[in-house]
Amino acid sequence: MTLHASELTPVEVSQRIEVLDIVRGFALFGVLIANLNWWTQSIPLTEEQRAALPTAGIDTWSSAFISFAVDNKFITLFSFLFALGFTLQLRRGEARGVNALPTFRRRLLILLVLGLAHGFFLWMGDILQIYALLGFGLPLLRRFSSKQLLLCGVLLGVVVPAVAELVAEQAFGFDEQHEHEAERLRAWEGMHGGPLALWSYYAASSWAFYSSGIAVGFLVWVAGRFFFGLWAGRIELLQAPERHRKLTRHLLYWGLGLGVLGNGLKLAQRHGLLGEELSWVLELELMHGVGILGLSAFYLAAILLLLERPRWAARLRFFAPIGRMALTNYLTHSLLYVFVFCSFGLGLVGEVGSTFCIVFAVLVIALQGWASRWWLTRHRFGPAEWAWRYLTYGRRP
């Protein structure tokens, strides 16, 4: 039976799977740290500017921590959850005898428009448009077996990106240092100009992203995470974690071991500890890719196992309201980026280092935890979630 989107309704609060909200809120915290560091350190500043900051000594350690424990791990969790959520929507529709695909596609179309607007006006690192574009392909993967999903996840999430990066460097002579310097100058001008200068920088960066192979590579990388999310949704890893304790423990121990190894080696290479010339560059990139997945799996498994302990469960539930309002909180982060760092706001870009990014992220997420809990005691949805559902279901939630 096929029903119109307006005959479907958003999931009730009592039907929500709390662990998904907890992991989503936790992932958003890590994404905030990574984005802050990328936007204020990796893009606009030179090594000399970073070394001149008053916190330069501790920033070296903070930057290493972010590179090792944060970068790419939390966006992996976030992407994983997006695909897992697709399986939940389909199963919910099937349980009611409803074809959920039309509604799902409508949600994606709205998300795509929101992501494009968000990326142009507030945050050029927007991930919503990537999720929307890839999301249209998710229904094609429903007939994949569990083994096929895992295999595709490894191929697209680890092997293809590592090989593509190596081939691009050798075949096209990609000058990373030159490209970074050009991007740094554009970013500096955009952040130190007015809103029009910032939007011009965002537009130029978006065009460069989509008109080059960078977009394709990132789409493939995120697609790999989607395969893992579909697999986890199929076996109900988060919906029924009590049935998967043995698997969860394997993810915990193997994830930690592979994560420390892969990310440790990559960090050592970046700091010149492996020598200038490596004969095993491809192997290193493959190990780094596995390491990213490993630490992501470790974080997920740790949350699932700690939720079985009452005291830890009470602490981790702090992230649940943040996860329930993830879209609102994610967009709020972008407003903060612009206000705190651009010259027409507080203008702190170039004045702070990686340590500030971590401290600022902790303060922001603590405030959002309180604000989200306060809001959800009075409203069923966050503001952005409410608008998204209004447009999706065709009636006021």
Along the 397 residues of the chain, how does pLDDT read in single tens digits?
344 444 455 555 555 789 999 999 999 999 999 999 998 998 888 888 889 999 999 999 999 999 999 999 999 999 999 999 998 888 887 777 778 888 899 999 999 999 999 998 988 889 999 999 999 999 999 889 999 999 999 999 999 998 887 776 665 555 555 566 777 888 888 898 889 999 988 988 888 888 877 888 899 999 999 999 999 999 999 999 999 999 999 999 999 999 999 999 999 988 888 876 777 888 999 999 999 999 999 999 999 999 999 999 999 999 999 999 999 999 999 999 999 999 989 999 989 999 999 999 999 999 999 999 999 999 999 999 999 999 988 888 8
For residue 373, which of 324, 330, 327 has the smallest C-alpha distance?
Answer: 324
pLDDT of residue 177: 56
Token pair 């998300």 is found at: 111
Distances (CA, A) of 396 to 6, 111, 328, 361, 393: 10, 18, 18, 34, 8
Distances (CA, A) of 272 to 266, 281, 284, 335: 10, 13, 14, 37
DSSP assignments along 235-290, one per residue: HTTTTSGGGGHHHHHHHHHHHHHHHHHHHHHHHHHHTTTT-S--S-HHHHHHHHHH
Sign of the Cα torsion 153, 157, 162, 164 reads positive
CB distance 355 to 62 below 8 Å = yes
